[in-house]
Structure 1
Amino acid sequence: MLQNIYDYLLLMSLFSIWLVILLNMILVTSGFINYLKHYRNKKDRILSEYPFVSILIPAHNEGKVIEKTVQSILDLEYDNDRYEIIVINDNSNDNSKEILENIKERNPRRFFKIINTDNIIGGKGKSNALNIGFKESRGEYIVIYDADNTPEKIALKELVYDIENDPEAGAVIGKFRCRNKNRNLLTRFINLEGIYFQWMAQAGRWQLFKLCTIPGTNFIIRRSILEKIGGWDTKAITEDTEISFRIYRMGYHIRFCPYSATWEQEPETVSVWLKQRKRWIKGNYYVLIKNFKYLFDKKAGPIRFDLLYYLSIYIFFFTASLISDLIFVLSFGGFIKTYIVGYSLLLWFMAYVLFVLSVQISSSTEKGELNFSNFIIILIMYFTYCKLWMLVAVIGLASFINDILFNRKVTWYKTERF
């Protein structure tokens, strides 16, 4: 029986949490169906002729990882005369320039360009670096890889195949995996998060709504689209999400290609992870505000679902989790009293079970990930890693509000490499 306002708040918050997790469960289940459909009936995916493609690699102080990345792209299974590599060494002050020059000397390819920028035209973030590289490119399609990526050899061919065979696709995205997943507990959390949110949830959204959001890497986009929209928004620090909305507003969709995969390095310390995720949250709030008006526009199409999806995660789930945790702490400390412990525990347990089941289903789609060790990681993930997300959500929101109130220039944080 509901006795006071704390009971109402607790029940509403737990119900909101449960609904968001249920939504993700539906997406993961749909993603699993998409996975089965693709891998059980995979046909030959070969084109009679492959188009000329430009690969852009934005890099700022990436000396620790850039050689491995460029070498993996040089080794792609794609005709050397049909793709160019453009590395934008963006105002780096480490040894990136020397490393890149050595790579080029060892690989005297016709279509391999290095652009070194200074602090006048460069050093202004990833979007600006991509715009610089785009101006120097000449491919019919543009492909982006982050400087810490090692794409699988067929990754480019798979992206090209899908966009060539789908004239309504403005872009095609692949999946990315964590290459340093066994480094520590944090990277194992991130690995499972990537499979869950960036693999299964993307596949589920594509299966249900023909809707995806561009990640920061391993995607292909039509040159004609970039020319029409004027390139990347330099004010957006999550340029991938922002450009996705503009592509949809043009009437295109973004296709998901599970056969194209890249492996990237993830943060290995909590401090680096917090800074990276803080940038993501601030950037996504910018995108939400910029596109909020389309939530009420019937002609906006799939944008409306994506806006609701981001609102559910960054507003409803965040607020509900904060309220439920606060009430629990106050109740446990004897500062307030609640009377629906049984109901709240039931809803909490249902949400927990759905979360564990969702991540388990997701992990089953990747070879070697469905094991007892990962099951234990998933069990503790809800109480640890997910709570870290709440902390970074608070920090990100506070920083975003301060930027607006004090008219601060938004700076782009480049993830530290290891």
Structure 2
Amino acid sequence: MNLNLEIVPYINYIFAVIFILCVGYQFIYIFVPFMKGGRKLKTKKMYHYAVLIPARNEEKVIPHLIASIKGQTYPSDMIDIFVIADNCTDNTAKAALEAGAFCVYQRDNKELVGKGYALDFALAKIREDYPDNDYAGYFVFDADNLLDERYIEEMNKMFSNGKRIITSYRNTKNYGTSWVSAGCSLWYLRESRFLNHPRTLLNTSCAISGTGFLVHREVLEKVGGWKFFLLTEDIEFTLHHVLEGECISYCDKAVLYDEQPVKFKQSWRQRMRWTKGSMQVTQKYFFKMVKGIFTGKGFACFDLAVATMIPLILTVLAFAVYVVFITLGLIFRLNVDVILRSLLETFVNSYFMLLGIGAVTTISEWTKIFAPMRKKILYTFTFPFFMLTYIPITIVALFTKNVSWKPIYHLEAKSLNDVR
């Protein structure tokens, strides 16, 4: 068999070109805020909101979230806090009530596990228990979150100006704890500042990312509650509503702080679920998004498909190509050095690309990152390593069938002043 392994670097270049063609436009996003300022909005009306907080064994952190909601500049009598104590074995329900939650629902279901099921359960209970409620929209937070004092006031400004789904600026409570927490935090800061912010300025749709968002009641009533149960229910929610013609907006002045995993094992488990969920989303929505590109929802479908699917698809394809050529090289006793050199070159190029992304984000958000200067600098250089661990995570997820939602236990029981 005449097998020439010298073709591998050229295949690698093809993958690189495809990636640049698909993702390269995001480089322009960096400059959009400097070229196009956002329109200053005024509050047109004050609305009554429900806050939904799914919580599983979160008795240590949930009082601080509720305190930050109670401490809003927005009128407290127009905010009702609903906590879903989901399969809890601790005193989450008691802690939430003592902290001032309006209502706590206890849910026990060991088969239907995950945030999506908890949210759907809560919405159904609210419809049943408060049929005449006047909630204009629903906020969704994780129990470990903290809110800046003006969070709801700023989100309400956008809501009162006609925005039906709004996400917010996602900061972190524990950036400086470890290279793992910093890596995940830096990615969310980048997503807020250099993806969602430019998207809103360009009047295209943003993406919901786990927590810290507001949804108009009509949006949820249209689908009959929360009907998104894949492992990444936030991405599923985003793509469904973009295909339905909704435009998800971003409020840069509404700041949320959450807690990131500090140990690599925790992060691996969490990102394994995200990656498997992305595979589920890709399988369910890829062709719908491609169709959407050519049926009036063009750029938003392209942009979000690129962000949620293309890196995953290219990683899987590249892995398959390398496995095939390395296997054939070993079978026919060929020198596979050219493949190893190609892999090393890809790693180095990826490192410096991610280093650039991390550096730009760190510099841009310097004053908003609550960590010592030395850690801000150090974790900028470890950020690429954190992101590159998605490669083995993707490969393992590809061959792992039973990936399920598992809780990340939060221990950073901090107030806003502690974080700052």
Q: TM-score, normalised by structure 1?
A: 0.82
Separation (CA, whole Å) in 1 of partners of 2:349 and 2:388 = 18
Q: Mark the CA change 1:323 to 1:362 in structure 2 (over 3 Å): closer, same or farther.
A: farther
Which aligned pairs between 1:4-43 and structure 2 lie closer than 5 A? 5-17=4-16, 20=19, 24=23, 26-34=25-33, 37-38=36-37, 43=40
Which of 98, 114, 133 does residue 104 from structure 2 map onto?
A: 114
Q: Deviations over 1:49-105 (max 9, x none)?
A: 31111111111111221111111111122112222111111121112122123223x
Stretch deviating more after TM superposition (319-328 or 268-277): 319-328
Separation (CA, whole Å) in 2 of partners of 1:228 and 1:67 = 33
Conserved? CA contact 1:56–1:143, under 8 Å: yes
Partner residue in 2 for 1:356 = 355
Partner residue in 2 for 1:185 = 179
AA paired with 1:229?
V
Conserved? CA contact 2:57–2:89, under 8 Å: yes
Q: Mark the CA change 1:291 to 1:74 in structure 2 (over 3 Å): closer, same or farther.
A: same
User: How many residues align structurally?
Assistant: 393
Conserved? CA contact 2:181–2:262, under 8 Å: yes
Separation (CA, whole Å) in 2 of partners of 1:378 and 1:322 = 31
AA paired with 1:30?
Y
1:385 equivalent to 2:386? Answer yes
Q: Deviations over 1:361-383 (max 9, x none)?
A: 2222213359665344333433x
Separation (CA, whole Å) in 2 of partners of 1:414 and 1:134 = 21
Q: Secondary structure at the match of 2:365?
A: coil
1:93 equivalent to 2:82? Answer no
Q: Deviations over 1:344-371 (max 9, x none)?
A: 8877665544332222222222133596
1:235 equivalent to 2:229? Answer yes
Separation (CA, whole Å) in 2 of partners of 1:257 and 1:99 = 30
Q: Secondary structure at the match of 1:172?
A: strand
Q: Mark the CA change 1:314 to 1:28 in structure 2 (over 3 Å): closer, same or farther.
A: same
1:69 equivalent to 2:65? Answer yes
Stretch deviating more after TM superposition (300-309 or 258-267): 300-309
Separation (CA, whole Å) in 2 of partners of 1:353 and 1:19 = 18
Q: Mark the CA change 1:86 to 1:36 in structure 2 (over 3 Å): closer, same or farther.
A: farther
Offset at residue 238 of structure 1 (A): 1.4
Conserved? CA contact 2:172–2:259, under 8 Å: yes
Q: Mark the CA change 1:246 to 1:234 in structure 2 (over 3 Å): closer, same or farther.
A: closer
Conserved? CA contact 2:117–2:229, under 8 Å: no
Q: Deviations over 1:175-214 (max 9, x none)?
A: 2112111112211222222222344223344445612111
Which aligned pairs between 1:340-355 and structure 2 lie closer than 5 A? 351-355=350-354
Partner residue in 2 for 1:151 = 147
1:268 equivalent to 2:274? Answer no
Separation (CA, whole Å) in 1 of partners of 2:316 and 2:191 = 16
Separation (CA, whole Å) in 2 of partners of 1:27 and 1:142 = 31
Q: Deviations over 1:22-74 (max 9, x none)?
A: 75564254145226744xx774x441431111111111111221111111111
Q: Which runs of 5+ in 2 are unaligned?
A: 128-132, 412-420
Q: Secondary structure at the match of 1:299?
A: coil
Conserved? CA contact 1:242–1:287, under 8 Å: yes
Which aligned pairs between 1:13-412 and structure 2 lie closer than 5 A? 13-17=12-16, 20=19, 24=23, 26-34=25-33, 37-38=36-37, 43=40, 45-104=41-100, 112-119=102-109, 124-135=113-124, 136=126, 138=133, 139-166=135-162, 169-207=163-201, 210-297=204-291, 298-299=294-295, 301=297, 302-320=300-318, 335-338=335-338, 351-368=350-367, 369=369, 373-382=375-384, 384-399=385-400, 402=401, 411-412=404-405
Q: TM-score, normalised by structure 2?
A: 0.82
Conserved? CA contact 1:27–1:205, under 8 Å: no
Conserved? CA contact 1:170–1:247, under 8 Å: no
Q: Which runs of 5+ in 1 are unaligned?
A: 105-110, 404-409
Partner residue in 2 for 1:415 = 408
Separation (CA, whole Å) in 2 of partners of 1:133 and 1:375 = 43
AA paired with 1:112?
F
Offset at residue 327 of structure 1 (A): 8.1
Conserved? CA contact 1:127–1:232, under 8 Å: yes
Partner residue in 1 for 2:416 = none
Conserved? CA contact 1:17–1:351, under 8 Å: no
Stretch deviating more after TM superposition (388-397 or 296-305): 296-305
Q: Mark the CA change 1:173 to 1:87 in structure 2 (over 3 Å): closer, same or farther.
A: same
Conserved? CA contact 1:29–1:204, under 8 Å: no
Separation (CA, whole Å) in 1 of partners of 2:355 and 2:379 = 10
AA paired with 1:232?
W
